[in-house]
Amino acid sequence: MRSKLVAGNWKMHGSRAAIQNLLASLKAELPAEPGTDVAVFPPSLYVADALVALSGSPVAVGAQNVCDQAAQGAFTGEVSAEMLADVGCRYAIVGHSERRALYGESSAVVAVKVQRCLNAGVVPILCVGETDEEREAGRTLDVVAEQLDAVMQTVAVGELSSLVVAYEPVWAIGTGKTASPEQAQDVHAFIRQRIAGYSEKLAAGVRILYGGSVKAANAAELFSQADIDGGLVGGASLDAQEFSAICRAAE
């Protein structure tokens, strides 16, 4: 039985004061023992504040990105997976579509980032998903397969037991357009089947999150699909009440 995970990606939003408020509201809104795994991903500068504010709470903290190069070294502006583990980050988002599109991250680089996370004991949340044009051209499954295969062919299957995949159709991110539960389920089932081609055991256990305009009003229906194991939530995770309602929908 896969436990559900709800992850809140705060992207580059907030200020120190706003994030302190959000953390305090989250602690007030979420039950002391949520019936689902919950994690938040603040901008990296505020990760330490979040770790302090959430210490002793069941809400984990993660990073939105990780360096592909090394554990230490002359890599200006970067943060390594080892550093994330050192301060207590449990997860890192890897290959978000904004990083693929705006910072030119290829699937090969994303695969190396997954490996770096695993080496350091950080759980990678690997984002995959097609653009509007790719869906219109009937290429959704090809695109997702390419993004997934890059990881499966780089990292030994035996090392991937903690991997989380997030299916995030790019056309649904921040647009208010959500994939229908059926559209999402079809791609999630494809992802699980594709992973089964490498390892059936891994496929049965891997958590596959849906991301793309998830909100309290659509979460329960999405999360009730057989292959949807929770959500990666952007905009709605900046509102503690809305995010808590999404977490409850996953229970």
Q: Which residue's CB is nearer to ligand PEP, number 118 or number 214?
A: 214
10 vs 198 by CB, closer to ligand PEP = 10
Query: Is there binding between residue 174 and ligand PEP (CB under 6 A)?
Result: yes
5 sits near ligand PEP (criterion: CB under 6 A): no
Q: Which stretch binds ligand PEP (CB under 6 A): 101-109, 153-161, 206-214, 240-248?
A: 206-214
Nearest residue relative to ligand PEP (C-beta)? 234
* Window 9-48: contact mask with ligand PEP (x via CB under 6 A): x---------------------------------------
Active site residues: 96, 168
Q: Is 81 in the site for ligand PEP (CB under 6 A)?
A: no
Smallest distance, Å, CB 199 to ligand PEP? 26
In angstroms, the CA 10 to CA 4 distance is: 19
- At closest approach, how far in Å is the CB of 12 from ligand PEP? 11
Interface contacts to ligand PEP, rule CB under 6 A:
9, 168, 173-174, 211-214, 232-236
